[in-house]
A = this chain, B = another copy of it.
Amino acid sequence: MSYLDLSTEDLKKELSKLKSEMEEIKALELNLDLSRGKPDKEQLNLSMEMLNTVNSKSILDAESGMDCRNYGGLDGIPEAKQLMADMMGTRPENVIVGGNSSLTLMYDIISHAMTDGLLGEKPWCQVEDRKFLCPAPGYDRHFAITEHFGMKLIPVPMNENGPDMDVVEELVSSDDTIKGIWCVPKYENPMGIVFSDETIQRFANLKPLAKDFRIFWDNAYCVHSIYQNEETDIPDIISECEKAGNPDMVYEFCSTSKITFPGSGISAVASSPANLIDIKGFLKYATIGPDKINQLRHVRYFKNIAGIKAHMAKHADILRPKFEAVDKILNDELNGLGIAEWTKPNGGYFISFNTLKGCASDTVTLCSKMGVAFTPAGATYPYGNDPEDQNIRIAPTFANMKDIKLATKIFALSVKIVTLEKLINKAA
């Protein structure tokens, strides 16, 4: 029965019962963690054979004949461009393959926009009221980059189809100090939703007032389904922007961080020919080139996109039960109480959980007191400020199944206690 329909007396009775559970848990002095969007050891083990692919007997020439052991090749080897293009669903001639972090590519491009400007436009460091759109809940490290560079962060509401495009269209067409927007189009962090085709069309057809407005399209989870029969190929944003006459408006990113090894993967950016020339224009100062041997290691291990997909099916087999366990416990503990909603994603690394308004921070704090760490409430919003204080990001990948189950039960208990206290206070 929904908490919202209970009398104050019944709420107090329920609270009293749950608090004694809480005390028992506190006594256990647990140390659990559902905060980290990291692969677990079993997932990392899936890629160990890749380390044998390149060894002292290997001929380390790329298809182009270039010796990958030596200097040269600013934009990656051709076969790596092909593989990363296939992951993103775009064309290799639109791709630069970088180092071990797509976040670095994003940071570097924004840093370049700050000091040099994009395609001849004014450097962003000279734009006093520069702003960036941040669909929220979203990824805190995206927001942090733009905050670091002195941008005002403008939250944009998310719905089940992606960012609220009415808001996006209105804002970008009326203010030339809005320089970009962060997007995770597939299995968005943290909601797990996939942008609808209509949303993607509307993105491609934006009419921004700023010539140097850019969509940062972080396709971080492009092949990261957790259901093997789930095929959610989204339209290629590079082609869609071209067709719409906006070829230079988007940078798309991906990496193998959550495919092989975080920190030892390869990354890529896709964009228009003009933007690629612009990017290489600063990369030639910023680097001697990417780690081409690691690019070879990846390509020779996977061979092609089919190899990647087969590999991702193994990741899915590890992750699916974890996501399902969290969902089942949340259902068992919270369904029908009228105090919570959460997503049931088909891929990605997170479940997005909403409490009643004003309950998220206290829930995370109480979890911490019971020995379970969550990402701080609000982290999924610009400046860490969730105006409704209701969103919590659950990361069920890194912990083992036993810990996940226990942590989720404690989480649900925490949600109930905090909500009951709020309801009782409100009634008083």
**A73 contacts which chain B residues (CB < 8 A)?**
263
Residue from B58, B104, B287, B294 within 8 A of A287 (CB atoms): B104
Interface residue ranges of A247-282 to B (CB < 8 Å) = 257, 261-264, 282
Say which residue of B38, B144, B287 sits within 8 Å of A285 (CB atoms).
B144
Q: Is A330 an interface residue (CB 8 A)?
A: no
Known pairs A51-B55, A51-B56, A70-B39; A107 contacts B263 (CB<8 A): no
CB-defined contacts of A149 to chain B, threshold 8 Å: 115
Q: Are A44 and B56 in contact (CB under 8 A)?
A: no
**B44, B71, B115: the one within 8 Å of A69 (CB):** B44
Q: Do residues B104 and A263 form an inter-chain contact, with CB atoms below 8 A?
A: no
Residues of B within 8 A of A54 (CB): 51
Q: Which of B38, B70, B115, B293 contacts A71 (CB 8 A)?
A: B38
- Would you call A101 an interface residue if the criterion is a C-beta within 8 Å of the partner chain's C-beta atoms? yes
Chain B CB within 8 A of A145 CB? yes
A148-164 toward B: CB 8 Å interface, digit per residue (1/0)? 11000000000000000
A244 at the interface (CB under 8 A from B): no
Q: How far is the CA of A292 from the CA of B262 in the complex (A)?
A: 9
Contact residues, A1-60 vs B (CB, 8 A): 36, 38-39, 41, 44, 47-49, 51-52, 54-56, 58
Is A371's CB within 8 Å of the partner chain B? no
Assess whether A427 is interfacial by the CB under 8 Å rule: no
| Chain B residues within an 8 Å CB radius of A48 | 56
Per the bound structure, the CA–CA distance linking A396 and B38 in Å amounts to 47
Contact B70 A145 (CB under 8 A): no
One digit per residue, 1 when the CB lies within 8 angstroms of any chain B CB and 0 when it does not, for chain A 74-87 equals: 00000000000000
Question: Does A291 touch B at the CB level, under 8 Å?
Answer: yes
A293-311 interface code vs B (CB 8 A; 1 in, 0 out): 1100000000000000000
Judge whether A125 is part of the interface by a CB distance below 8 angstroms: yes
CB distance from A1 to the nearest CB of B (A): 43
Interface residue A67 (Cβ < 8 Å from any Cβ of B)? yes
- Judged by a CB distance under 8 angstroms, whether A114 is at the interface is yes
| Complex contacts, A428 vs chain B, CB 8 Å | none
Give the shortest distance, in Å, between A314 (CB) and chain B (any CB): 15
Report the nearest B residue to A150, measured CB to CB: B115
Are A261 and B70 in contact, CB atoms less than 8 angstroms apart?
yes
Query: Which B residue sits closest to A48, measured CB to CB?
Result: B56
**B291 touching A70 by the CB < 8 A rule?**
no
Contact of A288 among B41, B103, B148 (CB under 8 A): B103
Residue in A56, A69, A141 whose Cβ sees the most chain B Cβ within 10 Å? A69
CA distance in complex: A51, B263 (Å): 18
A100 at the interface (CB under 8 A from B): yes
Give complex CA distance A263, B289 in Å: 6
Q: Note all chain B residues with C-beta closer than 8 A to A246.
A: none
- B111 pairs with A263, CB closer than 8 A: no
Q: A351 at interface (Cβ–Cβ under 8 A)?
A: no
Question: Measured between C-beta atoms, what is the minimum distance from A148 to chain B in Å?
Answer: 5
- In the complex, A232 Cα to B104 Cα: how many Å? 37
**A68 contacts the other chain (Cβ, under 8 Å)?**
yes
In the complex, which residue of chain B has the Cβ closest to the Cβ of A257?
Answer: B288
Contact yes or no, A70 B262, CB < 8 A: yes
A interface, CB within 8 angstroms of B: 36, 38-39, 41, 44, 47-49, 51-52, 54-56, 58, 67-73, 99-101, 103-104, 107-108, 111, 114-116, 123, 125, 141, 144-145, 148-149, 257, 261-264, 282, 285-294
Contacts beyond the supplied A69-B262, A70-B263: 4 A-B pairs with Cβ under 8 Å: A103-B286, A108-B286, A263-B293, A264-B291
List 19 A-B residue pairs with CB atoms under 8 Å apart, sorted by A's residue number.
Answer: A44-B69, A48-B56, A49-B56, A51-B56, A51-B58, A52-B56, A68-B264, A69-B263, A101-B287, A103-B287, A104-B286, A107-B286, A111-B286, A114-B115, A116-B148, A144-B285, A148-B282, A261-B293, A264-B294
